Amino acid sequence: MFDRSKKGERALLLQAQAPGQHDPALLEEFAELARSAGATVVGSLAARLDRPNPRYFVGTGKAEELKALRVALDADLILVNHALSPVQERNLEKLTECRVVDRTGLILDIFAQRARSHEGKLQVELAQLKHMSTRLVRGWTHLERQRGGAIGLRGPGETQLEIDRRLLAVRVKQLQKRLDKVEVQRNQARRSRERSALPVVALVGYTNAGKSTLFNAMTGAGVYAADQLFATLDPTLRRIDGLACGPIVLADTVGFIRELPHDLVAAFRSTLAEAREADLLLHVIDASDPERDTRVADVEGVLAEIGASDLPQVLVYNKIDRLESDVPRVDHPDRDGPLRVWTSARDGIGIDALLVAISQALASERVHQVLEVPAASGRLRARLHELGLVASEQPGEEGWRIEIDAPRARIEPLFGMQGGQGEWLKAALLAPNEGATYNQFDNPQP
Query: Per residue in 292-348, pLDDT tens?
Result: 888 898 888 888 877 788 888 999 999 998 888 778 888 877 666 788 999 999 888
Residue 446 has pLDDT above 50, yes or no: no
What is the structure's pLDDT at 162? 65
Q: What is the pLDDT of residues 225-239, one digit of tens each?
A: 555 556 556 667 888
129: pLDDT confidence band, cut at 50, 70 and 90?
Answer: confident
pTM to 2 decimals? Answer: 0.67
Lowest-confidence segment of 140-144, 218-222, 409-413 by average pLDDT: 140-144
CB 88 within 8 A of CB 69: no
Give mean pLDDT, residues 265-283. 73
What is the structure's pLDDT at 66? 92
Give mean pLDDT, residues 231-251. 78
Q: Please, what are the domains in the chain? A: 10-110 (3.40.50.11060), 198-349 (3.40.50.300), 366-442 (3.30.70)
The number of CA neighbours under 13 Å toward the Cβ of 225 is 19
Rounded CA gap, 41 and 106, in Å?
A: 13
**Segment (H or E) for 49:** none
Nearest CA to 114 among 304, 285, 268, 277? 268
End-to-end CA distance of the chain: 73
154: pLDDT confidence band, cut at 50, 70 and 90?
Answer: very low
Residue 118 has pLDDT above 90, yes or no: no
Burial class (CB in 10 A: 0-12, 13-18, 19+), 219: middle
Pairing of strands 390-395, 399-407: antiparallel
393: pLDDT confidence band, cut at 50, 70 and 90?
Answer: confident
442: pLDDT confidence band, cut at 50, 70 and 90?
Answer: very low
**Segment (H or E) for 440:** none
Lowest-confidence segment of 28-42, 84-98, 112-126, 133-147 by average pLDDT: 133-147
Contacts of 433 (CB under 8 A, 6+ apart): none
Rounded CA gap, 93 and 99, in Å?
A: 6
CB 381 within 8 A of CB 354: no
What is the structure's pLDDT at 283? 93
What is the structure's pLDDT at 316? 94
Contacts of 159 (CB under 8 A, 6+ apart): 143, 144, 145, 146
Question: Long-range pairs for 167-170 at CB < 8 Å and ≥24 separation?
Answer: 168/129, 168/132, 168/133, 168/136, 169/133
Residues paired with residue 173 on neighbouring β-strands, in sequence order: none
The single-letter DSSP state of residue 258 is T
What count of other Cβ atoms lies within 10 Å of the Cβ of residue 171?
Answer: 14
Lowest-confidence segment of 12-16, 127-131, 324-328, 426-430 by average pLDDT: 426-430
What count of other Cβ atoms lies within 10 Å of the Cβ of residue 176?
Answer: 12
Which of residues 166 and 52 earns the better pLDDT score? 52
What is the structure's pLDDT at 62? 92
